[in-house]
Amino acid sequence: MDEQLLQRIATPAYTAVPKTQKGSAQPAGTPFSKVLEQAQTQDGQQKLRLSAHAQTRLRQRNVALSPQDMTRLSQAVDTASKKGAKDAYVMYGNTGFVINVPNRTVITAMTNEEQTVVTNIDSVVVVPKLDQYGGFAAGTD
């Protein structure tokens, strides 16, 4: 074969290396991973996500979560994460949540009035629900 043909076959036609204005090999602007991380955080804290299944279960059971409730659940997930939990059952007031801790995703929700067996969890976190004044809500202690 022709030497030039072999050279063209062996050499990629285009190599994409982003350049900054000064010509270094670092990408210009903010890296995507950083933008994604910022989008997934709120007030410097990772957001807690609700799966579609959890949203359906909350609607079916007439459970409404306030921003304060979501903050308390997120803090419970932080605590579980520090202890090495992977899938936790978080008891919050009269509602229980199965949460995938590494992904910070609520998988499902159930009220404590239901007779339920929860499987495939490695930890339980009990979070007392606070009333509107910051004290413990009646009937949840």
Task: Using pLDDT thresholds of 50, 70 and 90, give the confidence band for residue 3.
Answer: confident
Average predicted confidence (pLDDT) for the chain = 79
List the domain boundaries for the chain: 48-127
Per-residue pLDDT at 90 exceeds 70: yes
Burial class (CB in 10 A: 0-12, 13-18, 19+), 43: exposed
Q: What is the pTM of this model?
A: 0.64
**114 or 4: which carries more pLDDT confidence?**
114
Q: Is 15 helix (H, G, I), strand (E, B) or coil?
A: coil
Per-residue pLDDT at 124 exceeds 90: yes
Q: Is 90 helix (H, G, I), strand (E, B) or coil?
A: strand
Whether residue 64 contacts residue 93, with contact meaning beta carbons closer than 8 Å, is answered with no
